[in-house]
Structures are given as structure tokens and as C-alpha cells.
Structure 1
């Protein structure tokens, strides 16, 4: 008897996902709630646990393939061996029968208490705790296993090998370079008795080894081909890049924003010298660091309480402006997966310290874009610090269905007039894009000048607290 594991409802109205990597292979024995496949939806990358235990009979789909809710992911057959012969697998799980207390992990399927085997902690996603996931000196020169023959590259692929690969970034790096990371011998600590994890350094070591092995041939060939065009003049082939996963969701949202919202943009240069002084005073008074972005986020939240209509969305069906009671502050973040806008929910009720801590958590997750789906929904206003990209300003696209977005440019020293005299000051350009259906320019300008006044004189915020 075999059972079909269908792609479940991923929540938030998501109906499709892209297969990133299989975590099992046909013939593997699995237990209930064991992670079997990693998929990327428009919201996040998640591992899907199987609701059945037994032997994997077949897999449906290849990495990179898009599948839809209700399609078969894999089939699981009853184990052909006794449950007592499967090391570490409870008898009831090995036969695939639901046991009491096994785990409801996604909408629409699963059990109640997880029997999923122990996996490395959160630190394992980026390397084991205390061991940064960075290449060590000479790591690429040392063979990862004794399987490599003396004449082969120091690092080899073994199609029969199934090394565990935890990080989606590692899998993607390998896939972009034409191989499966699980075929490498890992060097990461996966715990006692477990196969070593494949780390980013292992993948990069293999890529370096392949590059080095092909370099001598190209060095010999080039002098003989005097008439060949130089690398500078060569034209590479066209590449088609699928718009899928996160990129597809972002494209749809931005297109909807441009199509539906009659936006207008205003901007203002602001003297931020006093803001940096206030940051230093906070450090001296509390012993804690507060970033400039945190302080401007604090000002923006206060400004939305003064001009609440900007904390709105437009209900096109009922032709109403929905003014939100809570301020859920979105923070535009550039990640390895692309532009994402994680949300600080309930920012209006937070102290500056709480806002800083929430922002710090988002920043820690930004490099890999490993945000939970719930962290990417419900925003009511967005803050975009594109100054970190080295630009002064931008006419940003509003994060639909919100009504406005505040942009922060880079902060640099410029000549500035102070008390009728020329001085060198730290200046930042603020830009404000707003939905003209929600308000007129006077309201948007009032918000922008309020934030500017707080930046130029942070103590002035005290009058509004």
C-alpha cells in the first residue's frame, strides 16, 4: 500500500511553490513529520514534513520545477522491514500508522505531536554554534574524503552520496554552478553519529577546484589563437531567467501598485547633524547603541500618529479608505532572495528600545531572507533606507496596498547655511511617495516636515510624546 503526499495549503493564499531541493531519495525510510523537501513560495523557503512514515517510493518534480497545491510531491509505501529493524524509528511510525501525538505542521494535514528526528538548532543553518560558516585557510586544498583518486580534483562529486544540506543558500549556490550540493562530502558538525553537513565553504571549495583544473588548458590555448577575440570583446549568450517564487510575487505587487495607485513624490534635504549627536548622547546615557535608522523609524511612527490617514489602504471594491488603528512598520530589506519587506507589528505601542530590538532581529535575518511568512504580511507603512545602497534619493514604488513609503538617502557632509554662515553639516535627503487618493500634498508635506524637524532637533519630539 502506498500513500500520496500532496503539496499542502501553505497559507496566506499561496497556491504554488518551487522545489528547491529534495531531502530524501527513493528507497529512503522516513518517519512521520520528517522533512522531505524544501520549497520556495512567494513568502519564504520552508521544509515540508511528511504526514506519513514508511519507504519513499517515488518523487515527483525536479529542483526548480513549480508545483501547485494538491499535486503529488512523493509517494510513501509501507516499510518492507520490521519496525524493530529500523534504528531510531518507533514501530508505529515505521509502518506509517499515525501515532498519538505526532505534529500538525502545516494547514490541512499532519498530526499533533512531532516525532520528527532531532535536527540541528537554528545556528546550524549557518554553520554549527561557535564555528562560523566561512572558509578556513587552505580548506579548498584539503580533500574532504579519501574517495578522491590522486589524479582527480581535490574535491569530487559522488552521485550516490546524500550528504545533508541545511542552508538554502548553499543549495542555490551549488545549483547555480551546475551541481547538487548533497553530492559533496560535508565538513560541518551535524552531531554525534550523523553525516557531516555540507557548508558553503565546501561548495565554494569545489567551485574553486573546478576553476583551477580548467585554467591550464585555457592558458595554453590562448597564445595559439592570435586571431581570436579578447575576453573583453566576447559576447556571451542570452540567458532566460524565470520570474518565479519571490521575484514573481514582487513583480505582481509592484505592477499592481503602479497600475492602481496615483502616486506623487515629494522630497526634502535635512540637516541630520543633531541626530548623530543625539545618538551619541543616548549611548553615553544608557550604555546602549541606537542606530540612526531606529531613531528615524521612531520619528516616522510618531508622525503617523499625527497624520494617521497616511497609515491607510484603499478598498477599491467598496471605494473606501481603510485607516488602520495599528502601525505595522515595514522595513524594506535587500536580501539574497531579492527585495523583501518584513514587518514590525504593533510599532505604535513600542518604546524606542523595543523598536530597536525588533529592527535588529530583522537585520539579522536579512542576509539570507529567512523570514517567517507571518513577518512579511500586514504592513501599513514602509520605511526604505536606500542610503545604505549609496544613493541620495529615489522615487520608490509604494508597497501595495499601503498608502505611503518614506525613503532615507545617504548621509554625507555638505556645505550648509547655519545662522547666515556657511558650515559643514551632515545632510540627508528624505523622499515621500504617497497615494493621492488617500490625501493631498499638504498632508504628506506635513508628515515629511514633522519627521525632518525631529531629525534636525530630536528633542522636539518630546513635545508630542
Structure 2
């Protein structure tokens, strides 16, 4: 009987920690290879983590709700004897998982086990980072051991000097909790205008005089959203252009198009997305990203289109990769698929990253306009309000028409109002005269 320790795997996309949502097994349970053992929430999604080992659960590391660093111990499994493993091999032989090295697909796409090609064990990101930190620290005392860009952003936003913090993470790494703890005690209560600390649930809040009904900490997802929104507002000098458009012809044209099932029409968002992608071919800078050093703009061959979805977890932005190659029908299918996954909470990290331009269809929430926040490090976001009947002047006569407000928020460092207005006007013209673009194939 051999005890095997499974560490939290590298979840990809630069993520360095995850919050343990719930255990799916208990100590003493017998698990098989690739059986889900825990649900973890990253800054992007909730995923199930499967076990690379078969055997009996000996130890569970971490409590539900606790944040765990990548590379930290997650579960300890006492492997079955070779004879017993052979007996249970029928369940796992088909996927090559019965070998002692663990499963070959512990978390698909995340590379958490030994490589079948090199024969060398891949170290976890946390372990590798800790080694680098230890090596550099031996020659310099000014190195701040932080591996998460979100943690650095959070510290910078709140004016926290990372070099003054005592790290609590694996390998001496500073974590989000370290920064948050420092921020919580950074403002002396004697300072003019300083807010007193909030009180626990059931007691009077000194800031309001009201009894606190509940005190709920932000989840890892919510904290990450907050950090990204704060970074966008603090770093980007944004400006907005908007226009009211007559969407009556689009409204009517959509109802004349049916999909393969002969029952459903393409969504209005699919049309707006197609028009937006066509406009971006003329204004590619608006589908770029600020470079990693903040000193320039990266533009791309194609567009990965993000779109905001109001999910049970909060606002998420699924991504349609190479949306510029898609027709309206294809866009509609992807919008529908990713929206369903978002509302089920089953989007993968890869489906929530890599966008180069975002559309926010806040009209689906029943509102006409919104002060949208740019999805950093993108440089623009298009907002679409609800399409409702309003009085409109046509050829000198007031008539009822379907009117919608379009808005474009853009990074003024990257471009100027003329470019933003030109792109928005292209989209508006297509909405008002959709037949001019509906027959066009997507750009090659």
C-alpha cells in the first residue's frame, strides 16, 4: 500500500490559486482514477478536479471555502495493491489510467501529470516559482515573491507596499489574503474621514448605526472581478460615444429568418455581433489589446469576441474564438451554447479568456443604456440597449419605430473620438439597413 499526495493542479490561464467549493469524497472513501474528488472555483470558473490515483482517501487537505495555492496538497490516497488494481483495471484500462503514475487526463488540457512523451515529471507552477524565488532571493533582498498579477494589481490599487508584507503562501509567496489583511489595517481610524471597520452580523455597524443582518465575504470570483474592474477604471482614460438607431428593418428581417429547426429565429445579438465584426475590419485598433508593458497596442489577425452574460455567479464574459470567420447562423449557435454553459456554471477557463473585443447586451436586462467598463486589457466595448417602439420622425412624419441606443466606450490612449465614432457609425448603419450586409460572407 503506497500513499500518494495529489497537489492542486495547474489550472491554466495564469491562475495561481483556487477556492475549494466542496469536497465530493470523504476520508475512507474508495476512489477510482479520474473520479471527481472536489469542486474548485478559480477566478474564471468552477471546475471539478478528478483524482489521478485509485485507492482509499486517507487525508483531505483544506476546508471548504479555503483558498489553495496551485501546487499545495489537495488529497492523499493510499493506492490499492497491484492485485486489487488489476481487478479494477477494467474500469480504467480504456483510457490508459491504470498505471501507477496516475491518470493521463487528470484535468483535460491542464497537464497535471507525468508526460508520456518525455518521461519527466512536470513540477507544479507553485513549486517552480518557489525555486526561482529562493534562487533570486539568495542574491537580492529586494525581490517581492508574488506570482499572481491580480495580487500585484490589488496591492497597487490600494497603495500597499508588497515588500512590507509577511508572505503566507507556499514557498514564501505573497497571497491575496496577505494584501487584503494589510489593506484592512492600513487606514488609521483617527484619520479625518476614515470609515470605522464594519461589525460582524448581529451587531450594530458603527458606520451606519444599523444592525448588520449578514456579513458575507466576497468569493474568489467576485474579488477577481472587483480587482479587474478597479484596474480598468484606474488605468484607462475612457471616453464614450453613443447613438440612437432605428432598428425596425432589422427587427422585421430577423423574423423572416428561421434556423434549421424551423422554430427559432437568430438572436438580435447575433446580427449585432456580425455587424460589429464587419466594422472592426475597418477599425482593427479597437479590437486590440494594450501590450503587457503598457507602452503600446497589440493588434491581431482576427477577433475573439467576448459577450457579457448575467449568470448565477455574476457577470461573466464567454469568448467566441475567431468570431470574425463566422456567419450569423454560426455566431447565433455559439452565443446560445456559451450562454447556456455560463448559466449552468460549466464554462472552462479557456472559454472565459482571450477576448479582444466585448459586446455588452444590457438591453436583455430591460434597460436602454449603461456606463460600461472596458474589459481590461481590451481597448473598447460596445453596449446595446433594448429595442423598443418609440415615436420617430420619418420623412417629416412621426411614426412608431423600433429604436435602440448603441454606445462605444474606448481607451483614449489608443485612439481618438473620430475613429470610435466611425466604427460606431458603421455598426449603426448596418443595424438601420441590414440587407446591405446580411448577404455578405464573413471576412476571410
Q: TM-score, normalised by structure 2?
A: 0.71
The separation in 2 between residues aligned to 1:47 and 1:91, in whole angstroms, is 18
**What is the match of residue 14 of structure 1?**
15
The separation in 2 between residues aligned to 1:454 and 1:85, in whole angstroms, is 64
1:416 to 392, 399, 402: 392
Q: SS of the counterpart of 2:339?
A: helix
Contact 1:100 1:112 in 2 (8 A): no
Contact 1:33 1:110 in 2 (8 A): no
1:243 to 208, 218, 225: 218
Q: Does 1:270 align with 2:245?
A: yes
Matches within 5 A, 1:157-306: 237-283=212-258, 287=262, 289-306=265-282
Q: Does 1:342 align with 2:343?
A: no
Q: Does 1:110 align with 2:86?
A: no
The separation in 1 between residues aligned to 2:314 and 2:228, in whole angstroms, is 14
CA RMSD of aligned residues (A): 3.0
Contact 1:102 1:112 in 2 (8 A): no
Bigger Rg over Cα: 1
Contact 2:53 2:100 in 1 (8 A): no
Moved more, 360-369 or 37-46: 360-369
Q: CA deviation at 1:388?
A: 1.1
Structure ranking higher on relative contact order (CA contacts 8 Å, 6+ apart): 2
Sort the Cα spacing of 1:423 and 1:373 in 2 relative to 1 into closer, same or farther, 3 A: same
**What is the match of residue 68 of structure 1?**
69
Q: CA deviation at 1:442?
A: 0.7
Measured against aligned partners, the alpha-carbon deviations of 1:7-38 in whole angstroms (never above 9, x if no partner) come to: 11111111111111111111112222222111
Contact 2:385 2:406 in 1 (8 A): yes
**What is the match of residue 131 of structure 1?**
none
What residue ranges of structure 1 are gaps of 5+ in the alignment?
Answer: 114-234
Sort the Cα spacing of 1:272 and 1:252 in 2 relative to 1 into closer, same or farther, 3 A: same
Q: CA deviation at 1:459?
A: 1.8
Contact 2:85 2:98 in 1 (8 A): no
The separation in 1 between residues aligned to 2:260 and 2:407, in whole angstroms, is 31
The separation in 2 between residues aligned to 1:383 and 1:345, in whole angstroms, is 14
The separation in 2 between residues aligned to 1:391 and 1:264, in whole angstroms, is 21
Work out the number of aligned pairs and report it.
Answer: 343
Measured against aligned partners, the alpha-carbon deviations of 1:380-425 in whole angstroms (never above 9, x if no partner) come to: 1001100111111011000001110000111111111110111111
Q: CA deviation at 1:3?
A: 2.1
Matches within 5 A, 1:3-42: 3-42=4-43
Q: Does 1:389 align with 2:392?
A: no
Contact 1:413 1:425 in 2 (8 A): yes
What residue ranges of structure 2 are gaps of 5+ in the alignment?
Answer: 117-209
The separation in 1 between residues aligned to 2:92 and 2:318, in whole angstroms, is 42
Q: TM-score, normalised by structure 1?
A: 0.68
Q: CA deviation at 1:254?
A: 1.1
